[in-house]
Structure 1
């Protein structure tokens, strides 16, 4: 029996690594459902721990350190060798570390930061579902989200379904979260430059505006057009009146901007004349 192959690790005398390997494998083989596999795993674990202890003793003897009694882990009489709490603790901690590693990889990738399907796939993984019942995990997740300024409103809506709780100190009740939501909303509603004349607003600009409003922040016009043609073209055909209304709104803004510029120029000229005179 190759104990290292059963544990799924290279040969090692590090008891911590052995325990972690055992914890990973133990969640695959419940003693009642897979008794043979579990027994092989348990035997491999005990042998690996024994080897680690013997290696430690050998090193102590070589160093001239007195050796105590055999510390190999053995279950006491009547004790269930399958320590559910110990294994669950290792498994939960490892799942948490792996989840946050994958979360940060998505968060730090500018191409994936606002791809909600990627985050849905991560959060719905079976091994991660139980994590969000832990208040500590929710707080840690909220704090990580606050460090990213590129999440759109649709992403924050998604995260809030996992962060919501009755805790008065919840991350969602903090001013930092409200500030993040406000910034995301401002980005989503980012308008086309007011200096553009109403007739200069082409379909691509309109597409970009609509997608930004829907939460697709940071898109280039070309990419927005491609995405629009794939997913939003049917919607566009039904909303030509909305585009016309938008152009009307831009026409008013453009007129107001021009009036402001002219008034500013005349004001500057008048002030100069007044000071000189």
Structure 2
């Protein structure tokens, strides 16, 4: 995971994803590189080839906002990616090739009580590296990967149960990587994040391919589909709530549209948690772990860090 030339790595990765015909260029014959050539991007952005070369090689790290906007337009970046490009350029002069390890994340005060009060709503607390820091019984009943101590991105790519749980696994996988990049921002020298990315890159070709795209897309409120082994298909609305006073902690909660089959299925799923405070024991092997009725829903055991 390149840390000392993040701006250059981003520009090269995004250049490779733009087809010449998408930006009005005629593609003739066999091309030696995927996407745009460096000289083509330079011409489209109105900068010299020498200057773009210096940017990509990390020999010039102070582009103006006008240059960045021109590069973003030439690369057909959306608002999220353009903002990320500007952030990489602002941060580049301050990078020192390594940063101290952040302390282990702990749930923000009061969040466990809040989650447990939402008996009918699957909800969990996510840290900045996508570790699950706390969860209610209903969230664990929805998916064991929402159990405190798990890492969401690791489970999506390395846990076979995730592919069965998410009918649109390809979309979930791509969104997970893009959201991780969005949360990481320019802090790619965080040792624990670096270890997580290196682990997943070595273990999953899918993760490595998606990470190298440099997609950036923050988690947003949207619909998500589940193929639950106990209650069947679920279509739930995901809500993302930022926890104030924390370094990127987010509460993720799911709701079903009232009166729908998903609402009825969710009610069946929440019934055991409502009466016992514990998630139901799942039939079959989902995510490699059945819900453990002997463990408190909010994660009384210490959470693991994202890098093991």
Larger radius of gyration: 1
Q: TM-score by structure 2 length? A: 0.19
Query: What is the TM-score when the length of structure 1 is the normalising length?
Result: 0.21
Higher strand residue share:
2
